[in-house]
Amino acid sequence: MYIVQSIVEVPVDKVEEVIGLYQNRSRSVDKASGFISFQLLQNENKPGELTVHMTWEDKKDYLAWVTSSDFKRIHDLERKYPDQELANIKPTVRRYSVRAE
């Protein structure tokens, strides 16, 4: 398995707005080959820290997703989000190969 986490720092007054965006996400990634799961995590000690946690069958499937037209379309929409403070947030991306379960 392959895990990808995108961590963003969101202004605390906009956290619920961002959570709402993810709760109403397009779910197009759910149909991608090798996709297993998606979770949005909120740090208990730092409420403005949100982490998108995605699990994939393997790295190859993840790389196919990030080079897909659906991925490009979704991320283009994010860059055009009306609230430019949110649109300009850059995530820290971490990738992991699962070595034991």
Cα three-residue angle 25-59-40, rounded to 5 degrees: 30
Whether 51 and 4 have beta carbons less than 8 Å apart is answered as no
Instruction: Tell me the domain boundaries of the chain.
Output: 2-97
Cα three-residue angle 95-96-97, rounded to 5 degrees: 135
Which segments of the chain have a pLDDT < 50?
A: none
- pLDDT of the residue at 43: 98
Whether 26 and 82 have beta carbons less than 8 Å apart is answered as no
Global pTM? Answer: 0.89
> Considering the domain 2-97 in this protein, what is its CATH number?
3.30.70.100
- Give CA–CA dist 39/101, Å, rounded: 19
- pLDDT of the residue at 46: 97
- pLDDT of the residue at 31: 94
